[in-house]
Amino acid sequence: MKRKFDLTYSLLVLAIIFAIGFIVLLAKENSKLKARIINALSNPDAASGNISGPPELQAGDLAAPFEAKDLDGKLLSVKYGGKSKYAFYLFSPFCGACMKQTAMMSNLMLQVKAGGYEPVALSLEDPGERRDQLAVIEKNSTILVMPNLAIQRTFRVTSIPMLALVSGDGKVEWVHYGILSDGKFNEISARFGSAR
State the chain's mean pLDDT as an integer. 82
Mean pLDDT in residue range 131-154: 81
**DSSP letters of the chain?**
-HHHHHHHHHHHHHHHHHHHHHHHHHHHHHHHHHHHHHHHHH-HHHHHSS--SSSS--TTPBPPPEEEEETTS-EEEE--SSS-EEEEEEE-TT-HHHHHTHHHHHHHHHHHHHTTEEEEEEESS--GGGGGGGHHHHTTSEEEE---HHHHHHTT--SSSEEEEE-TTSBEEEEEESPPPHHHHHHHHHTTT---
**What is the pLDDT, as a whole number, of residue 150?**
61
Mean pLDDT in residue range 129-153: 82
Q: Is the predicted pLDDT of residue 35 greater than 80, yes or no?
A: no
Q: pLDDT digit string (tens) for 147-188?
A: 767 667 777 888 889 999 999 999 999 998 888 888 888 888
